[in-house]
Amino acid sequence: MLNIECPWCGERHETEFHYGGEAHIARPESPEALSDEEWADFLFMRKNSKGLFFERWCHSNGCRRWFNVARNTVTHEIVAVYKMGEKPPSLVKGGKS
């Protein structure tokens, strides 16, 4: 059970949030210009990282804001939290240990 720091509300229990999958997958500007393979790649293919992973969460039972989380998928350590639209912080691969 994670403790997640919402950038707006502070630290809250995981049950207040919902998960939004991998972060930084922008919806293509012109989907029509993409091949079926490229479109399928956007639709279905996601990383399955062991270690540092950038993902989206929504504080759905709180402020309802979406934000990004850098989490270690092995230790579940949350390495960084940052707002939508912000670049991922540069972190040592795997996060601090």
Partner 1 sequence: MSRRLQPDSTERINRQKPLRFTFNGKNYRGYEGDTLASALLANDVHLLGRSFKYHRPRGIVAAGAEEPNSMVQLARGAETEPNIRATQISLFEGLEAASVNVWPNVEYDISAVNGLFAKIFTAGFYNKTFMWPKSFWMKLYEPVIRRAAGWGKAPTTSDPDIYDHMHVHADVMIVGAGPSGLSAALQAGRAGARVILVDEQAELGGSLLGLKREIDGKASGDWIEAAAKELQGIPEVTVLTRSTAFGYYDQNYLCVLEQKTDHLPLAERKGRVRQRVWHVRAKNVILATGAHERPLVFADNDRPGVMLAGAVQTYVNRYGVLPGKRMVLFTNNDGAYEAALDMQAAGAQIAAIIDCREDASGPLVQTATDAGIKILQGHAITGVKGTKRAKAVEVRRIQKGAKVFTSAAQEIDCDLVAMSGGWSPVVHLFSQSQGKLEYIEEKACFVPGSPVQKQIFAGSINASFGLQACLKEGAKAGAEAAKDAGFEGEGSASFKVQEPAEGSIEPFWIVPGGRPIGEGPAKHFVDFQNDSTAADIELATREGFESVEHIKRYTLTGFGTDQGKTSNINALAILSGILDKPIPKVGTTTFRPPYTPVSYGALAGRNLKDWSDPIRLTSIHDWHVEAGAEFENVGQWKRPWYYPKAGEDMQASLNRECRAVRQSVGVLDASTLGKIDIRGKDAAEFLNRIYTNAWSKLGVGRVRYGLMCHEDGMVFDDGTTARLAEDRFLMTTTSGNAAIVLDWLEEYLQTEWPELEVYCTSVTEQWTTVSIAGPKSRELLKKIAPDMDLSNDAFPFMSFQEGDVAGLQARVFRISFTGELSYEINVPWTSGKALWEAVMEAGAEFDITPYGTESMHVLRAEKGFIIVGQETDGTTTPQDLGMDWIVSKKKPDFIGKRSYTREDTAREDRKQLVGLLTENPAEILPEGAQLVFDKEAAVPMPMVGHVTSSYYSATLGRSIALALVKGGHGKQGGTVYAPLKNRTLTAEIVDPVFYDKEGEKLNG
- In the complex, what is the shortest distance from the CB of residue 50 to Zn ion, in angstroms, rounded to a whole number? 29
Interacting residues with partner 1 between 64 and 93 (CB under 8 A):
64-66, 75-76, 84-85
For residues 3 and 48, which CB has a smaller minimum distance to partner 1 in the complex?
3
What is the chain's alpha carbon radius of gyration, rounded to the nearest angstrom? 15
Name the nearest CA neighbour of 65 among 26, 10, 2, 1.
10
Q: What are the residues binding partner 1 (CB under 8 A)?
A: 1-3, 13, 18, 20, 26-27, 30-32, 34, 36, 39-40, 42-43, 56, 58, 60, 64-66, 75-76, 84-85
